[in-house]
Amino acid sequence: MIRLDTREAGFAAAFDDLVNARREADSDVERDVRVITASVRDEGDAAIRAFTQKFDGHDLDESGWRIESSELAAAYDGLEPDLRAALELARDRIAAYHQKQKPADSDSTDDAGVRLGARWRSVDAAGVYVPGGRAAYPSSVLMNAIPAKVAGVERLVMVTPTPKGEVNPLVLAAAHITGVDEVWRIGGAQAIAALAYGTQRIAPVDVVTGPGNAWVAEAKRQLYGVVGIDMVAGPSEIVVVADAANDPEWIAADLLSQSEHDPSSQSILFTDDALFADSVAKAVDRQIGTLSTKDVARQSWDANGAIILVPDLMAALPLVDRLAPEHLELAVDDPDSLFAKVRHAGSVFLGRHTPEAVGDYVAGPNHVLPTGRRARFSSGLSVLDFMKRTSFLSLGQAGIDAIGPAAVKLAETEGLPAHARSVALRLKS
């Protein structure tokens, strides 16, 4: 953890380092992924089987390539009732929030007699990546599958690695209650390539979403264009802006809820009170020892944690915008006055009773959010990621006579005579 103070010499340079720190894929990952995706493109299932044997330690021909719907239903039936209820509450709230994102079509005729519009349709097929191992999160299934199904995607494919063949029943149950249509026991860059290119067994999809490790993220980046993707995902981040009226234990827990994700996660506190900063730092240290995730949380907090003292909380906001964090908590009495000044953040948590973690599970907004300063230009996962818009146009004789001559003029000026002719031929002579 580093401590900074905006009023100390050297702050600007130290903050620049924080903003520009790369915690993401290095070029080894890029090279490895290039080899994996090319193998899957060229060799299909044989490559998938070989990489799964190598990385996940099981032979798909023996363990089975797919997990059948009956297994998903059985996993759901086997859950204890309050866990089932929690999953269903989450599903219903997430679905309700995402329903409101469905875009409206438009179709109107203007004064020149030109009919113009836009029509939205879902993609035909989507693939959802769900990490295996430590990060096998049912909440990831919900957050990716629900917007796809709300969009109207007919074929929703889930891929998830099952290291040594093991599956996580929670993940299967979440797939069951969200209507996932196919589940394949594959992961890593090879799974992303299978979804993008298709293999003998696995039909290709149009969009691939979902979080993953550095190899998965890099595969999505490399295959973007072959397939649509949600975003380039990096390590998780939280920025907390808090005054001294907060309980330091609450804020410490919030910071640790990111630190415990991954050694490369980042947690940053901005506060205007040095004593409060000390209290939070102590609370973090004390709480870490009690966590089953303490090794990860300790590494992450030591390497990437930061506490930054500002003269007043408003002064934190331009710095927050430079970080463009995935998650931003505004733990003050009047969070809206701060929020009004924030331009770049993936998701914002307003007030003292809104810990980021409640948004990870049950609140409704998506927890798949832009990381690594990408909230400057991208948004959290939504129904729109599974839809596309077709614009349309219809002119009659009057319409083309009204606006066609200007098109002819511009086409001629651009040196495109067939463009000009295609319009000119239709003008009333």
Rounded Cα gap, residues 330 and 267, in angstroms: 14
Contact between 219 and a copy of itself per CB under 8 A: no
Cβ atoms of residues 128 and 228 within 8 Å: no
Rounded Cα gap, residues 428 and 317, in angstroms: 59
**Interface with a copy of itself (CB under 8 A), residue from 47, 87, 151, 268:** 87
**Interface with a copy of itself (CB under 8 A), residue from 60, 197, 360, 383:** 360
Which among 207, 153, 181, 169 has a CA at the least distance from the CA of 66? Answer: 181
**Smallest separation (angstroms) from a copy of itself to the CB of 52:** 24
Both tokens of 251, joined, read 């804020």
**Interface with a copy of itself (CB under 8 A), residue from 2, 14, 29, 114:** 114
DSSP string of 150-211?
HHT-SEEEEE---GGG---HHHHHHHHHHT--EEES--HHHHHHHHHH--SSS---SEEE--
Chain positions 179 to 218 lying near a copy of itself, rule: CB under 8 A, are 206-207
Contact region with a copy of itself (CB under 8 A), list: 45-53, 111-119, 186-194, 309-317: 111-119
Sequence-separated (6 or more) residues with CB below 8 Å from residue 80: none
**Smallest separation (angstroms) from a copy of itself to the CB of 65:** 25
Question: 208, exposed or middle or buried, with CB in 10 Å at 0-12, 13-18, 19+?
Answer: buried
**Interface with a copy of itself (CB under 8 A), residue from 186, 214, 297, 307:** 297
- How many Cβ atoms are within 10 Å of 371's Cβ, its own excluded? 26
Which among 204, 181, 209 has a CA at the least distance from the CA of 193? Answer: 204
Q: Check the annotation: does 129 bind a ligand.
A: yes
Q: Check the annotation: does 236 bind a ligand.
A: yes
Nearer to a copy of itself, 61 or 414 (CB): 414
**Interface with a copy of itself (CB under 8 A), residue from 163, 221, 273, 299:** 221
**Interface with a copy of itself (CB under 8 A), residue from 237, 260, 262, 272:** 260
Question: 86, exposed or middle or buried, with CB in 10 Å at 0-12, 13-18, 19+?
Answer: middle
Q: Check the annotation: does 182 bind a ligand.
A: no
Rounded Cα gap, residues 188 and 300, in angstroms: 23
Which among 216, 254, 207, 208 has a CA at the least distance from the CA of 235? Answer: 216
Which among 105, 101, 129, 93 has a CA at the least distance from the CA of 380? Answer: 101
Contact between 380 and a copy of itself per CB under 8 A: yes
Sequence-separated (6 or more) residues with CB below 8 Å from residue 44: 197, 198, 199, 200
Rounded Cα gap, residues 383 and 325, in angstroms: 22
Contact between 303 and a copy of itself per CB under 8 A: no
Nearer to a copy of itself, 282 or 421 (CB): 421
**Smallest separation (angstroms) from a copy of itself to the CB of 292:** 6
Contact between 399 and a copy of itself per CB under 8 A: yes
**Interface with a copy of itself (CB under 8 A), residue from 54, 134, 164, 286:** 134
Helix and strand counts by DSSP (H, E) for the chain: 18, 15
Nearer to a copy of itself, 60 or 317 (CB): 317
Contact region with a copy of itself (CB under 8 A), list: 11-19, 178-186, 274-282, 369-377: 369-377
Contact between 376 and a copy of itself per CB under 8 A: yes
Count the site residues for a copy of itself by CB under 8 A.
122
Query: Which residues are marked as active site?
Result: 326-327
Contact region with a copy of itself (CB under 8 A), list: 11-19, 183-191, 223-231, 273-281: 223-231
Nearer to a copy of itself, 188 or 359 (CB): 359
Contact between 416 and a copy of itself per CB under 8 A: yes
**Smallest separation (angstroms) from a copy of itself to the CB of 355:** 4
Contact between 124 and a copy of itself per CB under 8 A: yes
